[in-house]
Structure 1
């Protein structure tokens, strides 16, 4: 199916109810008209590309912070920049500090990490406005990058102008925040304002380690705050506190006309709603977000280890017992993170908890562990450990250096901030080259007694092809009513409200940035691994055939992406896109309104 046919078919969205289908059909018609009215973007060397004088004018307007970009690998293996990059290739803080690099090095048969031609290293909202106006006036491909963690390659594009917000990273606490224009409507509440270039470790350090409160953010500490909020945003404790997007009180955003707008429930409410889960980089450049903070639980903790079954039949029984145990004891706001099911008949546990001390958490797990120990067909491949710590220290780098070295990995560069650490388990994602990546929200009905056997069969069948991860914190079924209600008022797919977990099945290879010394990506291995991922997800979807996918962790080649990412929310998002970006300045792969453009975002479809 070609791009224009996809535009016509996808925007019809026949799965929607009749009332919504009418809206969607209207958007399809206007979308086609918009595509015909759009103007192609220009590349270097083409007529209309800005002159040196134009670029110099932009440079002056942003205080000299216009950078001509080149990959650190472009100078060859012996160049100092290449050697420096290779030295820090597994340091996400280093990669994030390079405007020419991204946290993912590419995706087989999809995209590779290539730098923009120029970048505005924004230090203020005024810098962002200047860059947006310049791109609009000169018909340039515009890219936005804060954390640069996009698996889909949305934070890079060759021949483009990059708005790089890394240096806009201030974090400010509020005891009693009221959104602009909401005086007398909203009660003051504790909150934190975070600029769009900040990472979650910056927010957690200020809010929890030093402030003694909690803000719902992402699990990986080096993910950008703004990107996570706009994509919906799940963290380890989302089953208790809801999505990160649902915690947004107010945003400052530069829209396609170069105007700074405040968006909240009282001012620009549709823009505000669209920012909350509508996908990063589609509606504007977010420059500041204000998020509600929560009382901090006394304890956070983790349960980790692995159990091996001696046969397929024993493994199937172990899966069934694990699902029964989850439904009875863990399907509540205390628990999050993962169980993983491996092809070698190993159940991997990497769960977290909040609001329980170590003794309480051990008591929860004791019946399940006793069941395992009582059966000779199982062995602990890794001992199951239950650990708890005062919640204030959960992201406290100094605490981990003193009491649990190895759990967190520091930024190893001279002069790096002492609080810049990442979980050791996340190091494998740094620079990775993705072979395939799929996700699916699993409905809570699968945990019912009538369907648990089918769920067990699907998990077992899926695990024959690859590792299957159940991320329980990325589904809100079992969360408190207030968390579910807040998430309902976001653009995130409505399926998340009744999902008990997000299943993720993926595979990847080592870093493979273009120009990097070495053989490059092993495409034969990539295609083999990708096929296995497809088979694993197909087996799982037998029990959830209509499952949607999480936009930030999904298949680059998702065919029905409007339905999969946003469901019945898509027409409303499309209307917001038409209102705030009628010329389609902001383009990302499979972002709202991207149907109107070619795959690279340069040519109207």
Structure 2
């Protein structure tokens, strides 16, 4: 892919680079480690004369002990024996997100047709502590290596893997510590103590929810998918099921410890390194440094969480168009508030699927909210058929929402890690299992401004959504737009690097397609490339309809189009120039590279060659 056009701040960045090494007054940008600049324009690969010798790798191994591992993907063995029992068992295991996360050579998504394929690093430092990460960062910088960071490994863009690289793998750094009265370093006397939780960079949201909510009765804003890594979600901004009430996950970040490109361990919070702190809140994972631990605000837990699930089949296309208008009107009048989150999905076969959650309401209160919608459907039995569901609207104690109760498992809502002796809190929503080991065919997203819900625009919005649904399935993730959220949550989100479009959006529209676990070169398990390309074309046509109404929508960095040429504006909008200045200060030589990450326009698509 060709790099996109240089943003307007290019001349200012060149001036900053020219001024490297000079000291300025407090509060003015300066590079942190100009003396570490490298004259090389290409990173080294195995076989290059400058690739570290065995003795050098042994020296790194001595620094980190048995944390240095030679990486090999378990998929490679299947190429020679695709029909073996071992290979069949492996492809079964690829549907277990915990198995994927525990394999150093694998990622949660196995690739994206015509975009990228999951390929392992040469070596990995399976970090146990911050010192291991410092050693890995220094080794990569000193030897001009491609460096990649993986925690949960959930990146759709493939940013948590890179062949011919050194991997910093934080999976084992997963401690969780509750704090009754936390004050950030340097903030003593400037901030009141708050309830918080400190987690290691390798922690997963399932385990954080268990510690904070199930065990301690608090709430921490995290991801909807329980096997997503905490550090990756925070750095992408972070949206979860209840973001409409509590804001972005990044908005609850109080402090982070991070190893920057010069190998220095830095604390980042509102009082110490505040520029780095701001950049870590939504600036994208793997671009500014290696986060080692995070401290997040713990909120008061509501009494109840609940869910609304129903499927409505319209008997004709005109009836479906009317149904789209009904749900948009109903959402505007009843659901655009902090109580509601998750998805409204429109399908090509004239099906409307409601998969929503709520907080702070009883079951009877939630039923009362939805009754007018149900009355509208009942009034047109020839047009709308509601699929029977005994748990159409359900509520439960918020404290048990993430607990793996027998009830949830029997009804298929929740699944567990089925490996022998796996921890009992290794659980995940069954609805997310399709993402484990997936190969993406296409994916796009767009924030839809809340102004589209006004009286004069709702019909155009409904027409657009209907037209898009004729091409491919589109989903409104209403928890990933903050319009309707409390002012405090919006203010915290405004103080992040995330595209400000998210603050004014009522939903993030997503259209995507994927296939089952597959890998090139494994007979019988290869991706269906032709199907993928047809699906991608259909997604593109659906999004073309959306762009007629919203010509230049913002896009969520974690759920976006790999091929978006306008990614700087789409992901970060007016925040990009400031974010790039943070990058220049803490990583002026570009040690940290990810696809479509801040500063990546200066490098080749694989991150190995610096562009002149």
TM-score (norm 2): 0.94
Q: Deviations over 1:389-414 (max 9, x none)?
A: 00000100136457x54210100001
Q: State the alpha-carbon separation in 2 of the partners of residues 82 and 123 from structure 1.
A: 30
Q: Could you tell me which residue of structure 2 aligns to residue 147 of structure 1? A: 152
CA distance in structure 2 between the partners assigned to 1:30 and 1:513 by the alignment: 44
Distance 1:529 1:283 in 2: 34
1:494 is aligned to 2:536? no
Is there any run of 5+ residues in structure 2 with no aligned partner, and where?
A: 21-36
Q: Which residue of 2 aligns with 1:323?
A: 328
Of 395, 398, 401, the match for 1:388: 395
The alpha-carbon deviation at position 115 of structure 1 amounts to: 0.4
Counterpart for residue 182 of structure 1? 187
1:543-562 matches, within 5 Å, as 543-562=549-568
Q: Which shifted more, 136-145 or 393-402?
A: 393-402
For the structure 1 residues 81 and 138, does the alpha-carbon distance in structure 2 shift closer, same or farther, using more than 3 Å as the test?
Answer: farther
What do the CA deviations read for 1:301-349 (whole angstroms, capped 9, x no partner)?
A: 0000110111111111110010000000000000000100000111000
* Pair 1:205–1:374, CA change in 2 (3 A): same
Q: Which residue of 2 aligns with 1:461?
A: 467
Partner of 2:111: 106
Distance 1:427 1:33, change over 3 A: farther
Q: CA offset at residue 517 of structure 1?
A: 4.5
Distance 1:28 1:36, change over 3 A: farther
Residue in structure 2 matching 1:62, options 39, 43, 64 = 64
Asked if the contact 1:393–1:399 (Cα under 8 Å) also holds between the matched residues in 2, the reply is: no
- CA 1:519–1:398 in structure 2 vs 1: closer, same or farther (change >3 Å)? closer
CA distance in 2, matches of 1:179, 1:130: 26
Query: Unaligned regions of 5+ residues in structure 1, if any?
Result: 13-22
1:361 aligns with 2:366: yes
User: Corresponding residue for 2:13?
Assistant: 27
Cα shift at 1:248: 0.1
1:510 aligns with 2:512: no
Asked if 1:11 corresponds to 2:17, the answer is no
Instruction: Summarize the Cα distance change of 1:499–1:152 in structure 2 as closer, same or farther, 3 Å threshold.
Output: same
Cα RMSD after superposing both structures: 1.8
Query: 1:457–1:262: structure 2 CA closer, same or farther, 3 Å change rule?
Result: same
Would you say the 8 A contact 1:440–1:550 is kept in 2?
yes
Q: Secondary structure at the match of 1:64?
A: helix
The answer to whether the 8 A contact 2:140-2:147 is kept is: yes
Aligned-pair CA distance for 1:174: 0.4
In 1, the alpha carbon distance for the partners of 2:2 and 2:554 equals 23
What is the 5 A alignment of 1:172-251? Answer: 172-251=177-256
Q: Contact conserved, 1:297 with 1:354, CA < 8 A, in 2?
A: yes
In structure 2, how many angstroms separate the alpha carbons of the residues matched to 1:381 and 1:535? 29
Residue 16 of structure 1 is matched in structure 2 by none
Q: 2:581 pairs with 565, 575, 582, which one?
A: 575
Which of the residues 265, 278, 295 maps onto 2:300?
295
Q: Partner of 2:415 in structure 1?
A: 409
Show the counterpart of 1:15. none
2: distance between equivalents of 1:262 and 1:89?
A: 37
After superposition, the Cα gap between the structure-2 partners of 1:399 and 1:211, relative to the gap in structure 1 and judged at 3 Å, is farther
Q: Tell me the equivalent position of 2:547.
A: 541
Q: 8 Å contact 1:463–1:536 — kept in the other structure?
A: yes
SS at match of 1:397: coil
Structure 2 equivalent of residue 333 of structure 1: 338
Aligned mate of 2:432, from 406, 426, 435: 426
Post-superposition shift, 1:518? 1.6
The match for 1:286 among 270, 282, 291 is 291
| 1:127 equivalent in structure 2 | 132
What is the rounded CA distance, in whole Å, between the counterparts of 1:573 and 1:138 in structure 2? 27
- 1:88 equivalent to 2:80? Answer no
Deviation string for 1:516-563 (max 9, x for gaps)? Answer: 452411111111110000000110121111210000000000011000
Deviates more, 1:508-517 or 1:546-555: 508-517
- Structure 1 residue 71 displacement after superposition: 1.1
CA distance in 2, matches of 1:510, 1:398: 28
Give the 3 Å change call, closer, same or farther, for CA 393–343 of structure 1 in structure 2: same
Q: Kindly provide the CA deviation profile for residues 342-401 of structure 1, in whole angstroms up to 9, marking residues without a partner as x.
A: 001110000000000111001100110111011021101354700000000010013645
- Contact 1:69–1:99 at 8 Å: present in 2 too? yes
- Report the equivalent of 2:47: 45
Deviates more, 1:299-308 or 1:33-42: 33-42
Does 259-268 or 58-67 show the bigger shift? 58-67
Whole-Å Cα distance in 2 between the matches of residues 413 and 41 of structure 1? 39
Question: Are the aligned partners of 1:11 and 1:27 in contact in 2 as well (CA < 8 Å)?
Answer: no
Relative to the length of structure 1, the TM-score reads: 0.95
Q: 1:475 to 1:38 in 2, by over 3 A?
A: farther
